[in-house]
């Protein structure tokens, strides 16, 4: 099954918040709580968008993004970082890793929805 969105984050409350709000708007969403599980899920589900936390239990989001941006058989998703990190260097590192966007936690639900709408049909082939 193809996902519209894969969320990679280890914060249970945020996972549920994002999952419910996207599902209510008709998106197919899958969630992973580690970088390794997230990479495998992206490989299997081929989402158009990955929402990615910077701080994960097994690797950082920048590493995950670089792996995702190397693509799978010529296909690679858009990646938007979700992070409480507000320092400019964190956002710069996200761009350097290949990130397409950055949402600062806590974010407004409408900001999340607008971001998903912007990127979900932007599959990079």
Q: Report yes or no on 112 lying in a domain.
A: no
Question: 85 vs 28, which has greater pLDDT?
Answer: 28
In a domain, 65, yes or no: yes
CATH code of the domain in which 25 resides:
3.40.50.2300
CB-CB contact of 65 with 124 (8 Å): no
Q: Positive or negative CA dihedral for 17, 23, 26, 29?
A: positive
CA distance 103 to 89: 14
Whole-structure pTM value: 0.92
| Residue 22 belongs to domain spanning | 5-107
The answer to whether residue 67 scores a pLDDT higher than 90 is yes
């Amino acid at each position: 099954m193809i996902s519209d969105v894969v969320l990679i984050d280890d914060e249970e409350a945020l996972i549920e918040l994002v999952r419910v709000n996207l599902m209510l708007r008709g998106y197919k969403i899958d969630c992973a709580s580690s970088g390794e599980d997230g990479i495998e899920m992206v490989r299997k589900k081929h989402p158009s968008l990955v929402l990615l936390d910077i701080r994960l239990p097994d690797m950082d989001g920048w590493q995950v993004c670089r792996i995702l941006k190397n693509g799978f058989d010529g296909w690679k998703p858009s990646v938007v970082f979700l992070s409480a990190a507000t320092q400019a260097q964190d956002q710069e590192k996200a761009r350097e890793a290949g990130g397409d966007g950055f949402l600062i936690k806590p974010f407004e639900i409408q900001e999340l929805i607008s971001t998903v709408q912007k990127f979900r049909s932007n599959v990079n082939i």
